Chains A and B, each alone.
Chain A
């Protein structure tokens, strides 16, 4: 939602400058990273002689090789796809579940509501790395015996297990967004005889789009970034585990890592821009409609 035209131009420029200044280390750091991916030597200081342009790092990354000589080629397309599946899966599951639960916590007064909210808060205090043995046990118990479904199951399991970690935070966030919608919107729907569920779907969800964006984004990133759960449960590799398993300070070729890291960023950037477009397009924020 943007501010109106009456705002003075001067102001805008000053703010932009201020943010730019604050973002300077970030800009410098990441620019050097991307630059280094095009060099045979890591460009880390302002010494121009360390930049030896080459595209071999990118060629190697696209071949799935994180080494200049030797190494084994991994199927980078496959790995990226795996990462995408996990990330989108987590985003979908989390967004769906928290949109449902958040609504009821916001609108329906049932016994134990407060306790439920507090329980969710308490759960967030436990890091994923602590829960993992219990999750692992469940995985072992429910493991399919036929090898055909094993791969699929590991994906499904990772998605749901990882999504669960984001649920408490997302439910709270969704509730908060639902809380800001004035009651009048639903009232008109319910007066017309629509069920709670219909009201939720047709009226509330469209009004919550910024909230959905926030939750979906964080959930996507959680799935995209995850290393601990993926490494433990997923049979295949994702970009996160692939990069992490191949950084070895002693002999890894860092410009290659820089290239892999830059490649890693691209889908997340695309997701962010796309999600923003989809969810905030034509969004008028609070205007009756």
Chain B
């Protein structure tokens, strides 16, 4: 590599490399190391050198095997990730397309509306749905349905196992996740040259045809991106679920995903068991990475990573 090229490259890449090194790679190695210790309560000096081997992993696997609620947790994780992923990706795409075809004013308003879940403090957001889905007559949904005469008694939504609990956690997380895809796809659609759309309109194409033939193919890369990143996020997310379970809105067994389960064990019960959390994170991430690779293979990542055309 000649000197010029090297300086140019470093200009562009060094900030990222430094950041990633300092705050990602090094902590990552630390995390893996800590998963082999009994680190807890932030007491670094005490526990850092106490190597306990695979204790934390053994403990996790033992719990997976023997905890009577684990099967429910596993099932919940699979259903939750799969369905929420579909909602997030396709919902985001749909919203982006829909707001594309209407006036700017209402489009902007809707986008803002759908961003609210992502903008709210997690506790307040959970509070909104806690009251909305509350199983008694104080619940918003119950009171609406009762007023409309659809039901006569309040329904304990979160306690209907498993689909009631699942629906709520999927719904609550989905609303947050959709905005990610929506923003990414909207920005992507904004990049598409106007002439293409104008030309198609002049030819008499309907909005649906325009979407299918022009818009969607042009956001294929973004689609793959949103799918992969959302999958990884969903696998390790737990803040938006935590309070719903803690406030007893949803049944604990079917409202808990793998991530929530392991992080509750590590952090929820008074102690701050960083060693266990590290082991859990490593496990979850391995699953995520495998899943990520599979997704990329299926979506023909190689083709997307084609050699950049601007290089010489």
A interface residues with partner B (beta carbon < 8 Å): 1-4, 6-7, 11-12, 15-16, 18-19, 23, 25-30, 32-33, 42, 44-47, 96-98, 100-101, 103-110, 114, 117, 120-127, 129-138, 140, 160-161, 163-165, 167-169, 171-173, 176-177, 179-181, 183, 186-187, 195-197, 200, 210-211, 213-214, 217-218, 221, 224-225, 227, 239-240, 243-244, 247, 249, 254, 257-258, 260-261, 264-265, 268-269, 272-273, 276, 280, 283-287
Task: Tell me the B163-190 residues at the A interface (CB within 8 Å).
Answer: 171, 175, 180, 183-184, 186-190
Contacts of B25 in A (CB 8 A): 123
Task: Tell me if A19 and B186 are in contact (CB < 8 A).
Answer: no
- Minimum CB–CB distance for B274 against chain A, Å: 5
- Cβ of B138 < 8 Å from any Cβ of A? yes
Contacts of A196 in B (CB 8 A): 8, 12
A195 to B11, CA, bound (A): 12
Contacts of B108 in A (CB 8 A): 273, 276
* Most central of B141, B187, B237 by chain A CB within 10 Å: B187
A165 to B232, CA, bound (A): 13
A149 to B169, CA, bound (A): 43
Question: By DSSP majority rule, is chain B's interface helix, strand, loop, or mixed?
Answer: helix
B interface residues with partner A (beta carbon < 8 Å): 1, 5, 8-9, 11-13, 15-16, 19-20, 22-31, 34, 39, 42, 44, 95, 98-104, 106, 108, 110, 112-125, 127-129, 131-132, 134, 137-144, 147, 171, 175, 180, 183-184, 186-195, 197-198, 201-202, 207, 218, 221-222, 225, 228-229, 232-233, 235-237, 239, 247, 259, 263, 267, 274, 277-278, 280-282, 284-285, 288-289, 292, 296, 305, 307-311
- Minimum CB–CB distance for B33 against chain A, Å: 9
A138 to B114, CA, bound (A): 37
Selected from A114, A186, A214, A269, the residue in CB contact (under 8 A) with B305 is A114
Task: Tell me if B19 and A160 are in contact (CB < 8 A).
Answer: yes
- Minimum CB–CB distance for B291 against chain A, Å: 9
Contacts of A197 in B (CB 8 A): 8, 11-12
Closest 6 CB pairs of A and B: A134-B27, A130-B281, A134-B30, A261-B124, A45-B143, A164-B23
Contacts of A27 in B (CB 8 A): 113
- Minimum CB–CB distance for B198 against chain A, Å: 5
Task: Tell me if B140 and A28 are in contact (CB < 8 A).
Answer: yes
Contacts of B202 in A (CB 8 A): 6
Contacts of B280 in A (CB 8 A): 130
